[in-house]
Structure 1
Amino acid sequence: MGLLGVLDAVFLAYFIIHIPTTIIVDSQSIVPAQYFPVWAKELLQWHIKTNEDHLVSTNPVWFVSLVTCETLLQLPFFFVVAYGFIRRANWIRVPCIIYGTHVATTMVPILADILFGPDSGPKRLTLFWIYFPYLLVPLLLVLRMALVDKPFAAAAGRRSGKGKRKAN
């Protein structure tokens, strides 16, 4: 497995892991607490206490708006893009560029607030490193998809029969 194969496996894992994370943890910022099991609420409270996550504990309006986008727009996309990566479908190229650009853009104010906001605490570097992959992976995804017209060209050719050798 080459570098692109490893990178694609990272992307697939990122999207698959993001599904339960969004449902169980992130959506607690917008969905009433009564809809979550006790263990999910305790998990979030553990994260807030352990990592001093002031964004999740205070839920400023701007942050809630980003979590709303994640839950309503990105969550359905996670299923679609995971399927696309499993099938090695070239049609996910443009949606991945849009997704990666959107998420990277939303992560800038989040990371800035974590590092420099008035409520950032002594564990701001720990919190920064928890959130940083959500900037890095989407940026890498944009690069991966923007640099080629068909990210899975070889796989598409094999499925369509174009990659078969002619018999002599």
Structure 2
Amino acid sequence: MPPVMSTPSTIDGSTVRRPWCARPWSHWITFGFCASHIFPTVLLDAQIVLPAIPAWIPGAAVLDRARTWALRQYLTGPIVDPLVRAAARGELPWFRTFLWAELVFQLPVFVVACYHLWHDRVHSIRDLLVVYGAHTATSMVPVLTYLATVAGITTAQRGALIAMYAPYLAVPMQIVFWFGFRWHREVQTKRAYIAATEDDEAKKRS
């Protein structure tokens, strides 16, 4: 007899929303990682590449002041970030391209991922998370290379910057592994189901 196949609403086969204490730690880390990116992306990275918010948008003045304050605090903080400083001056077009990708692609992914993770619907965004993880991990390679080789910063500052940016490489790689591996396992299960079904039908015909 062929194995029984299910149509799970979550990634591990459950059909009801589980409490957070019953979910795998990969859900916790992915949710925290995505949620922690939303406000820095809007308040800091958007400030670098986007023009001022149009005055006709409700709360535009407040948002602009918040964005300006966030960027000023970061640029005058104890850690000198040559990437952000150069991008704020209009330099490093390759890094500014990454910031645009963060706004156009990654920010919507953060919101969608948080919503589905909160409602325990990871199965429906598994492929999106794999694409996001691969995109972000590969984008971080030139960023870390630049930080490791740029002149004008001390060894301590370089180490602090690499330590600050390294999780943006490590966690997306883990996301690819977590959800990509599960996707591969599901594909293998479906293939086994199809093969078993065909064998069962062949035996019935014979």
TM-score of the aligned structures, taking structure 1 as reference length: 0.79
**Unaligned regions of 5+ residues in structure 2, if any?**
1-20, 54-63, 186-206
Please tell me whether Structure 1 or Structure 2 has the larger radius of gyration of its CA atoms: 2
- Over the matched positions of the two proteins, sequence identity in percent amounts to 28
* CA deviation string 1:123-163 (max 9, x = no partner): 11100011111111100100000111399xxxxxxxxxxxx
* CA deviation string 1:73-124 (max 9, x = no partner): 1111111011121122201111001000000000000000001234554311
Whether contact under 8 Å (1:113, 1:120) holds in the other structure is no
**Unaligned regions of 5+ residues in structure 1, if any?**
152-168
Is 1:94 the equivalent of 2:127? yes
Task: Give the total of aligned pairs.
Answer: 148
Is 1:65 the equivalent of 2:97? yes
**Displacement over 6 Å in runs of 4+:** none
* Aligned residue among 34, 44, 63 for 2:74: 44
Equivalence map 1:1-168=2 (5 Å): 1=21, 5-32=24-51, 35-37=64-66, 38-47=68-77, 50-59=78-87, 60-89=92-121, 90-119=123-152, 121-122=154-155, 123-149=157-183
Deviation at 1:36, TM superposition (A): 4.0
Match in the other structure for 1:158:
none
Q: Distance in 1 between matches of 2:37 and 2:139?
A: 16
Whether contact under 8 Å (2:75, 2:81) holds in the other structure is no
Match in the other structure for 1:159:
none
Highest relative contact order (Cα 8 Å, sep 6+), 1 or 2?
2
* CA deviation string 1:15-44 (max 9, x = no partner): 111100100112222023673434323322
Local SS of the residue matching 1:88: coil
